[in-house]
Amino acid sequence: MDQMTVYLILAGVFGLFMAWGIGANDVANAMATSVGSKAITIKKAIVIAAIFEFSGAVLAGGGVTKTIRKGIVDLSYFESCPELLVFGMLAALLAAGIWLLVATRVGWPVSTTHSIVGAIVGFAVVGVGTSSVSWGKIGIIVATWVISPLMSGVIAFFIFKSVQKLILNTENPIENSKKYAPVYAFITGFFLALVTLFKGLKHIFKGLKADADIPSVIKSVVFVENEKGMLQIPWYNNVILAIICGLVVAVIAVSVIKKIHIKPEDDKRFYFTNVERIFAVLMVITACAMAFAHGSNDVANAIGPVAAIFSYVDSAGELTKTSSVPAWILLLGGGGIVLGLATLGYKVIATVGKNITELTPSRGFSCELAAATTIVIASGTGIPISTTHTLVGAVLGVGLARGIGALNLGMIGRIFVSWIVTLPAGAILSILFFFMFKGMFS
């Protein structure tokens, strides 16, 4: 077996291991609000993740993958010795995967983005020097670690405030929940579809020529030909398609809500019991959106380094500035993510879903819609933000909407400490593994 094949096999194994860690920690974190509020069971969460994590990874994961693969370090520094990049990416995958395994075992909801970015910076600094790191890009990524929880927290705060004003704090919350729930469902479907069409599907149609073998009706209605003779979907068609998607989601929500059996006597135990049953329907919708958003953003943490190694092997030992990500790499990432959630995800679900603040379906809906919105925007712009930071920020926003007393400040403090530890842990492990692989293969 030649050395190139060994590199590719190790990349696949370590990439799968890293994806497993993402599923066990980050996907569990993303699904925690749904499971913690008892809107869905852990089994349903796994099924939702299996479907929508794959979809997000394949349809909208391209932009962030490029950032992880070649945006953090300057590839020109590795041109004279490209195998150092291979050793480094292998080390980064293994280091981040091991740290995620340790953190998940103790129930810490750490950032997979922190883990892989710290690991890549670690090997780059010791491998070729500090100048090889794109510190400007790192600065942007670090800024998003602050901006993303603030953004999702503010969005979640106002979403839940709107729920309180329009539904919970009214004279007839059940009727108002039936009235406004489809509106929230439409917003979820519309926004997710719009960002996916504008950003996520962009690479699928890239390179599609005007003479492509597409039914003439679809070609004339959906696409237009640009000045380069290529097909593209105009912005107004994207908006129309997003409106249709939003309406479909709203219709589905109305249909399901009509089948809910309202039991007035249950409200004697908890006044909003029947209202929360309606929001449980919306939680399923936002859980799907959250899984899609997570797959589109965080799959890059596993497959970005794999794509870099594949590019090296595919070009016979040269570093190429442009290369496509094969479908098998995307599927590797999606499969590992689902496997991680199914095997060890319950650990982090318990931490985020139950121990930060008390969640109900209406509160969990606000968290997930805010987090999904923030994550998909980040994926479309190619910035790898932390799902953990985003969702915890959203949970904090919802908690603050009810008053600071609703928050478990001790747990929040422990979560923040675990975030700080993650960066140096990923970097130190990566440095150790980098020298190990360099000694083995050089």
The one-letter amino acid code at 349 reads I
Confidence at residue 66, expressed as pLDDT on a 0 to 100 scale: 56
DSSP 3-state of 156: helix
Confidence at residue 392, expressed as pLDDT on a 0 to 100 scale: 84
The one-letter amino acid code at 339 reads L
Confidence at residue 96, expressed as pLDDT on a 0 to 100 scale: 94
Distances from the Cα of 405 to the Cαs of 168, 199, 203, 400, 424, in angstroms? Answer: 20, 40, 46, 8, 33
pLDDT above 80 (res 30): no
pLDDT above 60 (res 303): yes
Confidence at residue 9, expressed as pLDDT on a 0 to 100 scale: 93
Supply φ then ψ for residue 42, to 5 degrees: -65, -35
Question: Which tops the pLDDT comparison, 97 or 241?
Answer: 97
Q: State the pLDDT confidence band at 320, using cuts at 50, 70 and 90.
A: low
Long-range contacts of 80-83, Cβ-Cβ distance < 8 Å, separation of 24 or more: 81/128, 82/312, 82/317, 82/318, 82/319, 83/312, 83/317, 83/441, 83/442
Q: Exposed/middle/buried for 103, CB within 10 Å: 0-12, 13-18, 19+?
A: buried
pTM above 0.95, yes or no: no
d(CA 272, CA 254): 19
pLDDT in tens, 145-200: 788 888 899 999 999 999 999 998 888 888 898 899 999 999 888 877 776 666 55
d(CA 273, CA 280): 11
d(CA 422, CA 116): 10
Confidence at residue 65, expressed as pLDDT on a 0 to 100 scale: 52
Q: State the pLDDT confidence band at 435, using cuts at 50, 70 and 90.
A: very high
pLDDT in tens, 1-22: 688 889 999 999 999 999 999 9
pLDDT in tens, 201-220: 555 566 567 667 777 777 77
Question: Which tops the pLDDT comparison, 370 or 140?
Answer: 370
Record the tokens describing residue 321, joined without a space.
Answer: 């500035």
As a whole number, the mean pLDDT across the chain is: 81
Confidence at residue 202, expressed as pLDDT on a 0 to 100 scale: 57
Q: Which of 74-83, 178-187, 351-360, 388-397 has the lowest mean pLDDT?
A: 351-360
Confidence at residue 332, expressed as pLDDT on a 0 to 100 scale: 87
**49, 366 in Cβ contact below 8 A?**
no
> Mean pLDDT across the stretch 65-91?
76
**75, 321 in Cβ contact below 8 A?**
yes
Parse the chain into domains and list their residue ranges.
3-441
pLDDT above 60 (res 75): yes
**37, 283 in Cβ contact below 8 A?**
yes
Q: State the pLDDT confidence band at 113, using cuts at 50, 70 and 90.
A: confident
d(CA 306, CA 61): 14
The per-residue DSSP string of 167-236 comes to: IITSS-HHHHHHHHHHHHHHHHHHHHHHHIIIIITHHHHTT-BTT-S--HHHHHHH-EE-TTSBEE--HH
Q: Residue written as tokens 């995307």? A: 330
Q: Exposed/middle/buried for 208, CB within 10 Å: 0-12, 13-18, 19+?
A: middle
d(CA 270, CA 274): 9
> Mean pLDDT across the stretch 365-388?
75
**152, 394 in Cβ contact below 8 A?**
yes
Confidence at residue 380, expressed as pLDDT on a 0 to 100 scale: 63
